[in-house]
Amino acid sequence: MENTFRKFFDRYLKVWRTSSLVELKNLLAVDYKAREVSDGNSVDFEYEESLKNWEQAFNFVKESGAEWDIIEVSVMPLKDDETTVILSVSLMIKGKRLETSDLFMQTFKLENNEWKLVRSYIEAGIPLSKMNQMQFN
């Protein structure tokens, strides 16, 4: 399972880095659920709203000439058919990193022989100074 997940996950990261909404739609489970926390306020959303959020983010990246800076912090197999990853995500615009980063905890599940993103927890707007202090092992 690890090998199939790694292949899938590398594709997932490529889809994210290229801001391909069409391809991303195929990687999300239809029952996807997420929670985003920003400035202490949490928002829950599901598949359709998530796609709108991704579309806005991808459009911003394309329109501003930005690039995704995605750092793989940890990959943790939970079960044979389920894996959680932690990612640090920030944007680079004209070679300059934005002042904040987001920390994503995303869980993927093997469904009908296909890996899908099933849930996410996102801590948004973490100052880079705090992110750089975090110790990941």
Domains: count for the chain: 1
| pLDDT more than 70, % of the chain | 94
Residue 130, pLDDT score = 76
Residue 135, pLDDT score = 58
Is pLDDT above 50 for 102?
A: yes
What angle (nearest 5°) sits at the alpha carbon of residue 40, between those of residues 24 and 83?
40
Burial, 54: exposed, middle or buried (Cβ in 10 Å; 0-12, 13-18, 19+)?
Answer: middle
Q: How far is CA 46 from the centre of its chain?
A: 14
- Segments forming the whole domain that contains residue 121: 2-133
pTM: 0.90
Between CA 120 and CA 136 the distance in angstroms is 19
Residue 137, pLDDT score = 47
Between CA 125 and CA 132 the distance in angstroms is 13
Looking up residue 44, the CATH number of its domain turns out to be 3.10.450.50
